[in-house]
Amino acid sequence: MLNYHRFSLVMHRTRRLALYTFVNVDGRVGQSPRRDRDRRYFHPA
């Protein structure tokens, strides 16, 4: 298990893949991002 500030990761030993991750976020402190320049366009495939 890797412990970082507000983040943890548990990895599979032989496959070296993340089994699960944890994020500790305090929603009371967060701010809403500004969306004034967020423009989306349809791209035909």
Domain assignment present for residue 15? The answer is yes
Task: Determine the structural domain holding residue 10 and report its residue range.
Answer: 1-25
Total domains in the chain come to 1
Give the pLDDT score at 32. 76
Residue 31 lies in a domain: no
Query: 11 lies in a domain?
Result: yes
Q: CB-side exposure of 5: number of CA atoms within 13 Å?
A: 0
Whether 34 is in a domain gets the answer: no
Asked if residue 44 has pLDDT above 80, the reply is: yes
Residue 13, domain member (yes or no) = yes
- Answer whether residue 18 is part of any domain: yes
Question: Is residue 2's pLDDT more than 70?
Answer: no
Q: Please check whether residue 20 lies inside any domain of the structure.
A: yes
What pTM value is reported for the model? 0.44
Instruction: Tell me the per-residue pLDDT of 7-32, one tens digit each, with 9 for 90 and over.
Output: 888 889 999 899 998 888 887 877 77
User: Does any domain span residue 44?
Assistant: no
Report in angstroms the alpha-carbon separations of 13 from 19, 24, 29, 37. Answer: 10, 24, 35, 43
